[in-house]
Structure 1
Amino acid sequence: MRLAIGLAAAAWAVIGSAASAQDYRPTFHPDQLKGPPAGAFNEVLVLGSPHLSDLPDSFRAEQLQPLLTRLEAWRPTAVAVENLSGLQCDFMRRYPSRYAESVEAFCYDPSAAGRALGMDVPTANAEVERLLEAWPKAPTAADRRRLAALFLAAGEPGSASVQWLRLPAAERVAGDSLTAEMAAALDRRMTRKNEVDLVAAVLAARLGHERLWAVDDHTADSATPPDEEEAQAKAIMAAWDNPYVQARKDADQRLYADLEHPDGVLNIYRDYNTPDTQMVVYRSDFGATHVEPSPQAFGRRYLGYWETRNLRMVANMRDVLGRYPGTRMLTIVGASHKGYYEAYLNQMHDVRLVSSDEVLR
């Protein structure tokens, strides 16, 4: 009898603890403690983007003009992009047992530029910061070519593109530490079907910026054990086999079919940034993996990686905003990140979110 009573008491204690954890709500709400600060707020506009490489072959760069016009009118003072920083990639290269696949997939290779300048990635980054700290109001073409070369050696090709675009066409030539190979690579980047080169770098150059901010983060990546690869893939694919995934595919098909309309690309961005789309994204992907039932918890492990990645991406943006209070930041990211970006950024005391619906109207 005593054993039965003890077991019952233990069971009720576990149930009570679970209920308490479920019912508990924190009383501290940073999102409600917004100041106002001394000076201007940091403002952030999150632009959920398609990956332009996925658009049909009929896509042309000039179709981005209605989007670029609206973003330029908002006048951001900083542009953040879904690229890994050169410094993070340098760290990841030192840990190949965990990050070799991620480095291969996501990291720009700065080795040729580094050899040309005689610098490793940290040294090139330090030299970039030193130059920008004392950057002249009217830099020469030689200054910009030198800075572009340093950005390449620092592992920051998006920022090198900004410098290249700020040069007159006749000055986009080798020289001042920039080799012929680097110049050719920058010319190729100007025509890549990529939102960093065709949207972020073009906009930053139009606005007179000197760089982009690479805020992606893949330090939560880890290689799947070989004996789990097949089961993991099967579990995640099963979670993704749901009507919300099909709804996203159907919506894309409709949007892509209208690409030739003068606002065809702009309408894709308008659709990708609505609250309804953010919920469909969640239900099709992260909400589905949250309840994936494999005993190895493959879905929850994937969800943990995703949330960690977004938290670290937002932390990278917050770092920039902390260094430069009063920044108006446009952050361009794959549309699946938008809801998480806004939810996490909104927790920051010194950040005010801007409606993309208003800017893209």
Structure 2
Amino acid sequence: MALSLGLALTSAAQAQPDLSKLDKDMAGPRAQVLVLGSMHLSQLPESFDPASLEPVLERLAAFKPDIITIESISGEDCDLMARHPTVYDPESTARFCSHPVEAHAATGLDVPAAIAEVNKTLADWPADPTPAQRRHLAAMFLAADDDASALTQWLQLADTERRAGDGLDATLVARLGDLATRDNESYQIAARLAARLGLPRVFAVDDHTGDNLQVPDAEIPAFGKAIRAAWDSAAAQKQPLRDREKKLTERGDMLGLYRYINRPDVRSIQSDGDFGAALRETSSQHYGQRYVAGWETRNLRMVANIRAAFRDRPGARVLSIVGASHKPWFDSLLGQMQGVDIVDVEQVLKAE
């Protein structure tokens, strides 16, 4: 009897509710989420022409997203990290955060005040904003450390209206001009697509607060060596992927490139060659496992930010543009959300 009772209690403890069917009788529309795994355009050769992205933009526009998210840290999180320099190394965060000193000087607003002004402005945003309203909002976005959203507004202005005024000074106008030409998927894909669709902004969802691994300074060389060795162990299986990506890039076939890097078999090989290889790393300090734990924590927090972006928009059509390595985690985690369907990116990007 004792054995039977023990087995029964063990079985009961292991049984879990099946959340995959929780929304089967949900009233209301289902959200459609499309995760586009992207190249980091800044890493492409100088011969890269942003105009070659047009076939990709056309297909994404046909999806008609209401919300676009990008792999960028929000001004709010950058402000948080700046206020805790003993927790988040300023030299490391400088790679992700611009710290908008010039926008602060032009508008008189620090990041928290600018975010409040952005929220206030968008709460009463008209269907047909004036050029002055767009310039003002672009300035507020720059002060809020949200460059991609500022560019989204800037690109919706006629050429003759892209000038200083309404919070934009000559320095900020020059910055917006620079952003428009910068090789970055947040600008060349997300902001341009948002402007084409008439959206007011994009949403920055990246998060580096969870992958801030506590590796002692003395161990950092060993940590880096262990992870690089793990990657090198899988180099042979990943080389054909790199070769194919290089050929497509050299041909300027960005649609073919995006179709290729979003294929499930390609993502599976890449995931195993990076994170699977790290998990097979055998150091006594378990460096590989810690690396993957930081990666998964980052993905969890990024997905939470995406969910927050459309929590008040049941039935939203969401496009998440993110480095291709994130895509398997995004699809898996977002697919567990209630009332959310994952859209097949291969179908969206298919050739005519």
TM-score by length of 2: 0.92
Q: Secondary structure at the match of 1:122?
A: helix
CA distance in 2, matches of 1:251, 1:113: 42
1:209-288 matches, cutoff 5 A? 209-220=199-210, 221-222=212-213, 224-243=215-234, 245-259=235-249, 261=251, 264-288=253-277
Mapped contact 1:273–1:356 kept (Cα < 8 A): yes
CA distance in 2, matches of 1:31, 1:246: 38
For residue 21 of structure 2, what is the aligned residue in structure 1? 32
String of CA shifts for 1:164-213, please: whole Å, max 9, x gaps: 00001111111111111000000011111111110000000000100000
State the Cα distance separating 1:223 from its structure 2 match. 5.8
String of CA shifts for 1:246-288, please: whole Å, max 9, x gaps: 44343232332233647x1111111111111121122111111
CA distance in 1, matches of 2:23, 2:348: 22
Q: Match of 1:226, as an amino acid?
A: D
State the Cα distance separating 1:104 from its structure 2 match. 1.0
For residue 95 of structure 1, what is the aligned residue in structure 2? 84
Q: How large is the Cα RMSD of the aligned pairs? A: 1.7
Unaligned stretches of 5+ residues in structure 2: 1-9
String of CA shifts for 1:91-120, please: whole Å, max 9, x gaps: 011111221233211112212212321112
State the Cα distance separating 1:238 from its structure 2 match. 1.2
Q: If you compute each CA radius of gyration, which structure gives the higher value, 1 or 2?
A: 1
For residue 290 of structure 2, what is the aligned residue in structure 1? 301
Mapped contact 1:34–1:350 kept (Cα < 8 A): yes
Over the matched positions of the two proteins, sequence identity in percent amounts to 46
CA distance in 1, matches of 2:266, 2:249: 19
CA distance in 2, matches of 1:255, 1:271: 8
* Aligned partner (choices 278, 292, 296) of residue 281 of structure 2: 292
* Aligned partner (choices 155, 164, 171) of residue 165 of structure 1: 155
CA distance in 2, matches of 1:180, 1:288: 49
Q: Is residue 2:107 matched to residue 1:117?
A: yes
Mapped contact 1:240–1:284 kept (Cα < 8 A): yes
CA distance in 1, matches of 2:18, 2:91: 39
Q: Match of 1:144, as an amino acid?
A: R
For residue 167 of structure 2, what is the aligned residue in structure 1? 177
Mapped contact 1:85–1:215 kept (Cα < 8 A): yes
Unaligned stretches of 5+ residues in structure 1: 1-19
CA distance in 2, matches of 1:144, 1:234: 49
The change in CA–CA distance for 1:48 and 1:26 in structure 2 (over 3 A counts) is farther
Q: Is residue 2:200 matched to residue 1:200?
A: no
CA distance in 1, matches of 2:109, 2:57: 35
Mapped contact 1:98–1:222 kept (Cα < 8 A): no
How many residues matched?
Answer: 338
Mapped contact 2:241–2:266 kept (Cα < 8 A): no
CA distance in 2, matches of 1:69, 1:358: 13
For residue 5 of structure 1, what is the aligned residue in structure 2? none
Q: Match of 2:294, as an amino acid?
A: Y
TM-score by length of 1: 0.90
